[in-house]
Copies of this chain bind each other. A is one copy, B any other.
Amino acid sequence: MTTLYEHGTLAALMAGNFDGTITVSDLLKHGSMGIGTFTGLDGEVVILNNEVYQAVSSGQVNHIIDMDATMPFASVHFPAEQQDITLRNVNFAKLNNDFVKEHKLANVFAFLQLSGEFKHVKIRIAPKQEKPYPTLLDVAQHQPEFTAENISGTIIGYYAPDIFGTITAAGWHLHFISDDRQFAGHLLAFDAPKLTGSFEIFDNLEQHLPIHNKEFRASEVDMATLRDGIAISEGNAE
């Protein structure tokens, strides 16, 4: 059995519940690889082999050593049944179409990690919010974007089926981090001649909800705008 662990939901972020509800320490009990964000929607997180990196909206990348820092949303897993892959001339269009079809991902959760030389990378980084929190969609419309050319790094993240598009990001939700750990964020676009890495299909989603958090329990989700709001906030550019 292979398990993807997810703490919190994008529906809760859409409702503006940005307070952290799991510590880094607790999160790492459920996975050594993953992505997420910190309290206040503070930045874009990459977790690689238990090392936690946070890109903040200035563009700076912090190596997180405070295991008590809290996160409202994160997805992690322990590698279990990884398959090695090599992809050539790869970009989001190729991942969204050819790769999903080839590996029959439409109805499953999957993990993807790809490393190599990128010709072009475009990322964005959510800026930290203060209370009273806006919604995820509000934040998504005002966040800095950064680009880099000819950069070595790693793409890491997950694929989720359409039917889970109210809980997490449907399709690919990928973050990027450079090999020198100086450039990272939520991946919007990329282009690379050759990337190697691994991917894994999960048969189990462990969805953890912060049931002891009062704002979470009381929050009202707008079902009419939820799916599109998440797609706009978390989608990739292509």
Residues of A within 8 A of B (CB): 9, 11-12, 104, 106-109, 161-167, 201-212, 216-221, 223, 226
Contacts and interface: CB of A to CB of B under 8 A. Distances in A.
A108 B211 contact: yes
A219 B167 contact: no
B9 A209 contact: no
A85 to B, nearest CB: 18
A112 B209 CA distance: 19
A163 B221 contact: yes
Contacts of A161: 221
7 contacts: A108-B209, A108-B211, A163-B221, A202-B211, A203-B210, A205-B206, A205-B209
Copies of this chain held together in the complex:
2
Contacts of A163: 9, 11, 166-167, 221, 223, 226
Nearest to A213: B107
B208 A108 contact: no
Contacts of A211: 108, 201-203
A224 to B, nearest CB: 11
Contacts of A209: 107-109, 202-205
Residue of A107, A205, A207 contacting most chain B CB atoms (<10 Å): A107
A208 B218 contact: no
A165 B109 CA distance: 18
A206 B206 contact: yes
A164 B161 CA distance: 13
Contact of A208 (B107, B165, B204): B204
Given A163-B226, A167-B164, A107 B221 contact: yes
A110 to B, nearest CB: 10
Nearest to A211: B203
